[in-house]
């Protein structure tokens, strides 16, 4: 998988300096501690969900139908696109191209902000039609997991704002800070990819 991407014609990020970047931990390593731990914590939730689903397939299947798969899918693409621009922005910051980095991070923020907005369009009709966390176990897992994820998204948006401020105001962009924030944001994306499959897609 990785070799396919590397074989393409080099774009903006591919320069000789990339070869020096083997064995590079992006950003602050304490953020990676947080990322891995968070992945594990959500992992327990995911496995718990699958376990309890196994005890009551009927209930989960019936409830799943009430979810809005369209918004779920659109939200997935929003986060993926936002992640793309964060990664592109990080590359630009590393190459010293402040203008491009700012542009890309602004776009990333816009796509990222679309996520909670769309979520409201998803949750509010559901709650109004009586589907609350107390309805059944599926919906409890649904609201708790997507709720926890939404809190992570909100924090991520705040971090992106700090990155934007750093890129705009400091003389030389702090690459480590940008990478640290980017790592967090991509983690939020990865979590959603799993959530999307578990809640909306699987049968």
Partner 1 sequence: MTSLIRNPLTIVWALLTTVTIVSSLIALEGGAAHQINTTVTTAVLLIAAIKAQLVIRHFMEVRRAPVWLKVTTSGWLLGLFTLLLSFYFASL
Partner 2 sequence: MSGSVAEVPKAPTPPAERATSWRKNRKLDQWIAFWSVPFFFNLFGLVFVPLSWMMPPRSPSSTTPHIVDFMQSHNLLIACVILTLAYGLAPVSNACYLMQVRRMSVSPAFRYSMMIGAITGAIVGMLFPMFCFGLGAFRPGYNSGVLTMLYDFGYLAFIGSLGCFCVMWMAFGLAIILDENSILPKWLGYYTIWQYVTELMAAPVWIVKSGPFAWNGLMTFWFAMTLYVSWQIIVYVCIYRAIKNQPEAELDNASAELRQAVELRSGTSA
Task: Name the residue nearer to partner 2 (CB basis): 87 or 137.
Answer: 137
Does position 26 bind partner 2 by CB under 8 A?
A: no
Does position 154 bind partner 2 by CB under 8 A?
A: no
**Within a 10 A sphere around the Cβ of 167, how many other Cβ atoms?**
22
Q: Which residue has the tokens 């953020």?
A: 31
CA separation for the pair 203, 201 (Å, rounded): 7
Q: Which stretch binds partner 2 (CB under 8 A): 6-14, 34-42, 62-70, 191-199?
A: 34-42
H helix intervals, the chain: 2-6, 29-55, 57-64, 69-94, 98-128, 137-169, 175-195
Task: Name the residue nearer to partner 1 (CB basis): 70 or 117.
Answer: 70
CA separation for the pair 94, 90 (Å, rounded): 6
Does position 41 bind partner 2 by CB under 8 A?
A: yes
Among 74, 113, 140, 175, binds partner 2 (CB under 8 A): 140
Q: Which stretch binds partner 2 (CB under 8 A): 27-35, 111-119, 156-164, 187-195?
A: 27-35
- Output Rg (C-alpha) for the chain, integer angstroms: 19
Does position 37 bind partner 2 by CB under 8 A?
A: yes
To the nearest whole angstrom, how small is the minimum distance from the Cβ of residue 165 to partner 1? 22
**In 80-109, which positions are buried (b, 16+ CB within 10 angstroms) versus exposed (e)?**
ebbbebbbbbbbbbbeebbebbbebbebbb
Binding residues vs partner 2 (CB under 8 A): 28, 30-31, 33-34, 37-38, 41, 44-45, 48, 52, 133-134, 137, 140, 144, 148, 151
């Amino acid at each position: 998988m990785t070799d396919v991407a590397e074989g393409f014609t080099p774009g903006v990020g591919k320069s000789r300096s990339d070869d020096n970047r083997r064995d590079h931990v992006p950003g602050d390593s304490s953020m990676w501690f947080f990322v891995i731990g968070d992945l594990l914590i959500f992992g327990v939730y995911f496995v718990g969900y699958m376990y309890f689903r196994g005890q009551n397939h009927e209930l989960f299947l019936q409830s799943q139908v009430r979810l809005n798969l369209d918004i779920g899918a659109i939200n997935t693409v929003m986060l993926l696109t936002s992640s793309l621009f964060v990664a592109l922005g990080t590359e630009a910051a590393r190459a010293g191209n402040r203008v491009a980095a700012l542009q890309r991070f602004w776009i990333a923020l816009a796509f990222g902000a679309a996520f909670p907005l769309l979520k409201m369009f998803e949750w509010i009709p559901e709650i109004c039609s009586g589907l609350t966390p107390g309805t059944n176990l599926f919906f409890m897992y649904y609201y708790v997991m997507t709720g926890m994820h939404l809190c992570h998204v909100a924090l991520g948006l705040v971090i992106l704002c700090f990155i934007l401020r750093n890129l705009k105001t400091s003389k030389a962009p702090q690459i480590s800070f940008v990478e640290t924030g980017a790592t967090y944001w991509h983690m939020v994306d990865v979590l959603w990819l799993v959530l999307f499959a578990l809640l909306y897609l699987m049968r």
